[in-house]
Structure 1
Amino acid sequence: MNHQRIAFVIEDLYGGGAQKSLLYTADQLRQRGHAVKVFTLRDRVEHRLPEGLEIENLAVVTPFTKATSTVLTEKWQARKIKKALDAWKPEVVISCSCDKITRHLDLPNLYFWIKSDVSAKFSDPAQREKAFAKVRRFYTGRKVIAVSQGVKENLEKVVGLKAETIIPIYNPYEREPFEAMAAEPLILPDGVEEGRYFLSVAALEPRKRQDRLLRAYRRAVDEHGLSFPLLIMGKGKAENEAKVASLVKELKLEDRVHLLGYHHNPYPYIRAATAMVLTSEAEGLPRVLIEALLLHTPVISVDCPSGPKEILTQELEDFLLEPDDESGLAAALARMEANPVTIEPRHYQQFLRENVLPHFEALNL
């Protein structure tokens, strides 16, 4: 294998799945023998930093640059980034979550890593077109990595992006860390039994569509005799949490639905669930479904843009529903309760690190 120098550029390492997957990808490439360096634009770190992974803070995002954000400021920041990259001489540069600045870099080996599906984020036509125009302005003629085939297709067909190239590469995963976290103690609400409940793990916000989930669950109880409870794990703004709690009461589900709030480690709950359920309006490539499969927990999902249909393959295709098909979702819950799918490695092998990392390694070939 030809070892390379690979640089990642990201605004910070605070919160978020994008930061988590970047750190994991960078460290796995380092472990495979590549020289890897992560350049951050400000010193804001929440995630655990892998031992041995080189991180350099360029300190080009400050309260002053935030307050005076203009194209001139962005170009000044980009020059600082280029100076650091020129000094380190990477063969591949991957930008993530800071493209407003890095779009000003003119490097032949620069890739923009897009992890969400902008085509499904806005219902208002004016906001939608404004977002599309921004994507075209940033990435026309550039090299792009899309987190899923669905994101690639929507960038091309819906957004109308004419990039130099768009390469779909999944986030890489390994089972062992999730199995270790899932082995921690599991504390369930009174009356809820291990292996006999459905689980939703998502932020409490309109885009995650807990309303769709709760109505479908109510139908599953009424029309199919569903008996397993539903656990909803996640937090959100106070008004969003209140809306979900209010709908639980409105649907008379207080004795069946448990709102667990946020848990730092959701994996014991995921492993012990009958199935993970996702009802979002839009995703890029939903981590929670892949992580459930890695723990051999079945999944049920709506076919929202743009990742679920790439995850629910083989037998799981029967549990992929049209987004507004609440009747179908109710029936899927009942089918899963009666006859849960047995998850095997063939259901998630395309996401394992040994199958994903070679695609990153091939970027400069």
Structure 2
Amino acid sequence: MAASTSSTSDGVAATPAQPLKAPPTPLPQRRLGPFSVSAIGLGCMNICHAYGEPVPEADAARLLLAALDAGVTHFDTAALYGFGLSETLIGKYLAPHRDRFVLASKCGMTGVDLRGDGKRVRVIDGRPATLKTTCDEALRRLRTDAIDLYYLHRWDKRVPIEDSVGALADLVREGKIRAIGLSEVSAATLRRAHAVHPIAAVQSEYSLWTRNPEIAVLDACRELGVAFVAFSPLGRGVFTSTPPDPQALHAQDIRRAMPRFAPEHWPRNLALRTRLVALAEQVGCTPAQLALAWVLARGQHVHALPGTTRVAHLLEDLGALHVQPGAAVLAELDAIFVPGAPSGARYNAQGEEEVDTERF
């Protein structure tokens, strides 16, 4: 775990948070670089970014503290999420408990007011100076002296990966971060980066309907001793008990621009989900729990990182740690969701251009 701190990097006292319960029996653990963390972590994007309006601050605080109460020791955020709001909320409510969890955040993709009208635009910028500035800003928001795992959120293809990782290695030497991660990169890029400085983790989208990591990077991580962190393991809500209605999505919901939720693709994808639901009933668990159990069964180096805004959903997700689907069920899931079965690309053209991952 990280060293305990209850103040910001600039000396401002952390905001007190409500008392927590006694630490629970530890959840099943997996290695995340130099750390041991709960096999299921909490992605902290949903509370303020990408899926509509941010939740009320009280609800965000309740979720963060409930996760800690439940034994989650892996919290993941980014400078992009809410343009700093996610990091701010984590700093405000979890800094007093900093010795109880591993903190991951990301740089290299932030929101910039390019027009001067207060409306931020997402910008990918992997220049060394930008990454170091973003880190300093994150440390202040997170109210900590060091970030345990710091990812390059996207590889800026205008900047050699060696230069961006070199800047992160400088931050390790300065004690501002403890380990380096990469997000949405290919196996080839991982190997180039790993030659500059050991990479602790790769984070990419991985779920029943997004199996691109199986092309190469999942095995490359295993070979190099790198943890693989699966974000959106529930198919951006599709594999939960209450799947999204594409026609009712908030105007700011990023799924509105994702082909799989478009009218020409959605019926086929919903039909795949129906088969998952039936299989989960046979196993005796929820669809979300079975989908998460499938992800965790891909290897001991694989972590699941679901996000939510509701405590009940958080606890349901953690229940996946007690689901044992068996080889036959896992094989049936593989067959249902064979690559090519889901209809539509996972991102639109711009999103596909921004990532460096292999594609089927």
TM-score, normalised via structure 1 length: 0.30
TM-score, normalised via structure 2 length: 0.30
Q: Rg larger in 1 or in 2? A: 1
The higher relative CO (CA closer than 8 Å, separation ≥ 6) is in: 2
